[in-house]
């Protein structure tokens, strides 16, 4: 990537009055609603576990069209103090709609230092949301992504390594005593850690099954290896459907790509196809994909609003284009 000081952004932040990141976009009632994390300067020194990402609440954004120059910023949708089981770090959320109710899925750390995923409900897509008293049973790690298929069945994808703790759940129990977030990762020649997926119950509040691996295959049908940092899964899962195919997209983390893989069902396996979004200014790269009136868009973030500070980001949007074979033209956010 070129020197960040030489890059000229092709898009402007959707809001500038607060810092936002990790946008999950959906069309509800003909409008676009965006569920981002709300970055703050919490005064916490940077560390390898992500402790400086000290977010405390969620603020929903809405837009009439993706061409709007600015999104509407709504009041606080949910605060950590109103979540009985959570202590801190309200990281990247997502939302879904079913049976007249809006559901907000969110990760947070409990008092034992482990991330779990909670759910809150509202009759309004912008909130406020009321959290369930406990985290979803069997949940762990971060970055929930909800997906309601054409048949009405709903799924939750989730998981992130390093600060997201996915590597600390390989035994089925949370491993508390680690000195580094890089501990417990598989060797480079071993299969990479996978994101997770679980079908949700009809009421959207619990898992209807034990979470399973979202396996990403290479061009030879082999699972991606842990050492394949340009392609392997790190965090930020997203699922969308296009022309009957399931598109699983995700961040590669330390190589800063948003990549995608295609499969025939919500569980996969998914075959790697390429880069969806090239690296952005700032360390993290996190996105969502949304259709609006026949066109497709990627919502993403970078750190241009804060001059490149890792944990103070801003949400943006760009159109994406599909090729005739169903692959996607990679998006570059700068010129």
Q: Which two tokens stand for residue 151?
A: 């048949």
Q: Which of 39, 94, 235, 302 does the annotation list as catalytic?
A: 235
| CA separation, residue 158 to residues 50, 60, 165, 303 (Å) | 17, 20, 11, 24
E strand segments, 193-286 = 195-199, 212-214, 216-217, 235-242, 245-251, 258-263, 270-277
Question: Which three-class secondary structure state does DSSP give residue 254?
Answer: helix
Pairwise CA distance, residues 243 & 200, whole Å: 24
46 is catalytic: no
E strand segments, 29-93 = 31-39, 57-63, 72-79
Pairwise CA distance, residues 86 & 113, whole Å: 10
Q: Which of 4, 22, 82, 208 does the annotation list as catalytic?
A: 22
**In 3D, which of 267, 278, 254, 292 has the Cα closest to residue 328?**
278
Write down the residue that tokens 């560390």 correspond to: 47
Sign of CA dihedral 185, 48, 18, 142: positive
Pairwise CA distance, residues 203 & 200, whole Å: 8
Pairwise CA distance, residues 93 & 203, whole Å: 19
Q: In this structure, are strands 195-199 and 130-131 parallel, antiparallel, or unpaired?
A: unpaired
22 is catalytic: yes
Residues known to be catalytic: 22, 235
């Amino acid at each position: 990537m070129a020197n960040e000081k030489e890059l000229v952004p092709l898009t402007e932040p959707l809001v500038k009055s607060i810092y936002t990141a990790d946008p999950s976009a959906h069309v509800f009632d003909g409008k676009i609603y965006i569920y981002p994390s709300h970055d703050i300067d919490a005064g916490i020194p940077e560390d390898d576990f992500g402790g400086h990402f000290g977010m405390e609440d969620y603020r929903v954004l809405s837009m009439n069209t993706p061409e709007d120059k600015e999104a509407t910023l709504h009041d606080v949708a949910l605060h950590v103090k109103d979540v009985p089981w959570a202590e801190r770090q309200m990281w990247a959320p997502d939302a879904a709609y079913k049976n007249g109710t809006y559901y907000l899925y969110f990760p947070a750390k409990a008092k034992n230092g482990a991330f779990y995923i909670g759910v809150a409900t509202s009759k309004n897509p912008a909130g406020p949301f009321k959290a369930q008293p406990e985290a979803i049973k069997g949940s762990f790690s971060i970055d929930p992504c909800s997906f309601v298929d054409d048949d009405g069945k709903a799924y939750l994808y989730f998981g992130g390594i390093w600060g997201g703790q996915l590597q600390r759940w390989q035994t089925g129990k949370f491993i508390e005593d680690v000195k580094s977030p890089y501990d417990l990762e598989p060797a480079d020649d071993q299969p990479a850690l996978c994101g997770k997926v679980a079908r949700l119950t009809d009421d959207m509040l619990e898992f209807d099954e034990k979470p399973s691996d979202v396996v990403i295959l290479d061009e030879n049908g082999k699972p991606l290896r842990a050492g394949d940092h340009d392609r392997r899964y790190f965090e930020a899962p997203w699922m969308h459907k296009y022309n009957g195919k399931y598109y699983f997209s995700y961040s590669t983390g330390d190589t800063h790509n948003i990549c995608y893989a295609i499969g025939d069902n919500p569980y996969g396996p998914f075959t790697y196809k390429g880069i969806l979004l090239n690296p952005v200014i700032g360390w993290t790269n996190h996105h969502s994909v949304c259709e609006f009136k026949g066109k497709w868009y990627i919502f993403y973030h970078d750190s241009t609003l804060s001059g490149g500070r890792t944990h103070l980001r801003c949400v943006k949007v760009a159109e994406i284009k599909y090729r005739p074979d169903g692959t996607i033209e990679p998006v570059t956010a700068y010129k």
